[in-house]
Structure 1
């Protein structure tokens, strides 16, 4: 059975949506994701713009302004719901780890 698109998010997807809680253009998104993750997640332009297009088609973000080639985006209610669902899924994973591995493995 095929998995529904955006049922789970990759790290780049998660951080793009998280960043778009405030209006940003592509360059700002890349910089903010890099800063937020201390360079751990590095978004290339190809990945970023493909995901922005997919998110926009899915109604998870909306374009807010266009100035020449510069486009800005903002998360929608659907995008917020998806981001929150992923956050809760990740919390459940960490709780399962704690239950199975115990607190001593966290040190």
Structure 2
């Protein structure tokens, strides 16, 4: 396994990258669809602009965490210029490890009673 194929070498993820990978965890999406999924999932609290999104997509493609999908929706429902993205096996490992890392941090905060509503 070379250094670039070890999922741990990508951690911690930048917030925008985390949200992009998370949005692809359950479906293939095009860029605008990723932005909309992030807005919806975060109740509008996280907005990823086109510059941030497409810069991150370019890096994620180069790192092998996502791939351009070969599948296309019904042409009547789609714009042929759109590119659809999906997680690779490495990308799924990376987002899973990052989610576990973040869950561990939340567990530590609970142990320190930082998330206790009575305080």
More strand by share: 1
Same fold per superposition (TM over 0.5): yes
Q: CA RMSD in A?
A: 1.8
2:15 alignment counterpart: 11
Using the TM superposition, give the Cα deviation of residue 106 of structure 1 relative to its aligned residue in structure 2, in angstroms. 2.4
Q: Please, what TM-score do these two structures have when normalized by structure 1?
A: 0.85
Structure 1: stretches of 5+ with no match in the other structure: none
Q: Please, what TM-score do these two structures have when normalized by structure 2?
A: 0.77
2:95 alignment counterpart: 83
Name the CA distance, whole Å, in 2 between partners of 1:85 and 1:5.
11
Aligned residues: 101
Using the TM superposition, give the Cα deviation of residue 76 of structure 1 relative to its aligned residue in structure 2, in angstroms. 0.7
Name the CA distance, whole Å, in 2 between partners of 1:18 and 1:106.
27
2:116 alignment counterpart: 106
Using the TM superposition, give the Cα deviation of residue 71 of structure 1 relative to its aligned residue in structure 2, in angstroms. 0.9
Using the TM superposition, give the Cα deviation of residue 63 of structure 1 relative to its aligned residue in structure 2, in angstroms. 0.4
Structure 2: stretches of 5+ with no match in the other structure: 1-7, 73-79
Name the CA distance, whole Å, in 1 between partners of 2:109 and 2:88.
32
